[in-house]
Amino acid sequence: GRPKSILCTPLVHQGELSGILYLENNLTTAAFTPERIEVLQFLSTQIAISIENAVLYDDLKKAEAEIRRSEEYFRAMIENASDVITLLSQDGNVIYQSPAIEQILGYKPSDVVGRNMLEFVHPDDHQAIIESLGGLIASNHDPVPIEFRAKDGEGKWRYVEAIGNNQLDNPSVGGIVVNARDITDRKEAERERAKLMTFQRDLALAKDIQQSLLPPSRPDWPLDIICYSKPAHEMGGDLYAYHHFAVESAGAEKFAVAVGDVSGKGMPAALLMAVTLASFQYTISQHVSPGQLLHRLDQTVEGYTGGTRQNCAMVYVEIRVTPAASQQSTAVMKAANAGCISPIVRRQNNAVEWVEARGMPLGAGMGGYLGYNEVTVSLETGDLVILTSDGVVEAQNAHKEMFGFDRLEAAVAQAPQTTAQAMLTYLIDTVNQFVGDTEPHDDLTIVIVQI
* pLDDT tens-digit series, residues 162-171: 999 899 988 8
Tell me if 17 sits within 8 A of 43, measured CB to CB.
Answer: no
Q: What is the DSSP string of 199-253?
A: HHHHHHHHHHHHHHHSPPSS---SSEEEEEEE-SSSS--EEEEEEEPPPPTTS-E
Is 199 among the domain residues?
no
Q: Does residue 124 sit in the same domain as residue 241? A: no
Domain final residue pick, 76, 102, 136: 76
Q: Does residue 53 sit in the same domain as residue 96? A: no
Range of the domain at 292: 215-450
Chain-centroid distance, C-alpha 435: 26
Distance CA 221, CA 92 (A): 80
Q: Does residue 265 sit in the same domain as residue 371? A: yes
Q: Does residue 19 sit in the same domain as residue 107? A: no
pLDDT at 78: 55
Q: Does residue 226 sit in the same domain as residue 372? A: yes
Q: Does residue 266 sit in the same domain as residue 384? A: yes
pLDDT at 232: 84
Q: Which of 55, 53, 42 is nearest to 11 (CA)?
A: 42
Residue type (1 letter), 16: E
Is 194 among the domain residues?
no
Q: Angle 184-213/266-284 helices, nearest 10 degrees?
A: 20
Helix then strand then coil, % of the chain, to nearest 5: 40, 30, 30
Is 445 among the domain residues?
yes
How many Cα neighbours within 13 Å face the side chain of 222?
Answer: 18
Q: Does residue 231 sit in the same domain as residue 360? A: yes
Total number of domains in the chain: 3
Residues of the chain with confidence (pLDDT) below 50:
none
Is 148 among the domain residues?
yes
Q: Does residue 291 sit in the same domain as residue 377? A: yes
pLDDT at 325: 56
Q: Angle 404-414/420-435 helices, nearest 10 degrees?
A: 140
**CATH code for the domain of 122:** 3.30.450.20
Q: Does residue 228 sit in the same domain as residue 370? A: yes
Residue 97 pairs with which residues in a beta bridge? 86
Is 95 among the domain residues?
yes
Distance CA 80, CA 431 (A): 61
Q: Which of 261, 260, 271 is nearest to 235 (CA)?
A: 271
Q: Does residue 46 sit in the same domain as residue 144? A: no
pLDDT at 70: 65
Is 85 among the domain residues?
yes
Q: Does residue 68 sit in the same domain as residue 141? A: no
Domain final residue pick, 76, 105, 134: 76
Q: Does residue 280 sit in the same domain as residue 423? A: yes
Distance CA 444, CA 229 (A): 6
pLDDT at 15: 80
Is 17 among the domain residues?
yes
* pLDDT tens-digit series, residues 381-437: 999 999 999 999 999 999 999 999 999 999 999 999 899 999 999 999 999 999 998
Distance CA 5, CA 70 (A): 53
Is 201 among the domain residues?
no
Domain final residue pick, 182, 207, 224: 182
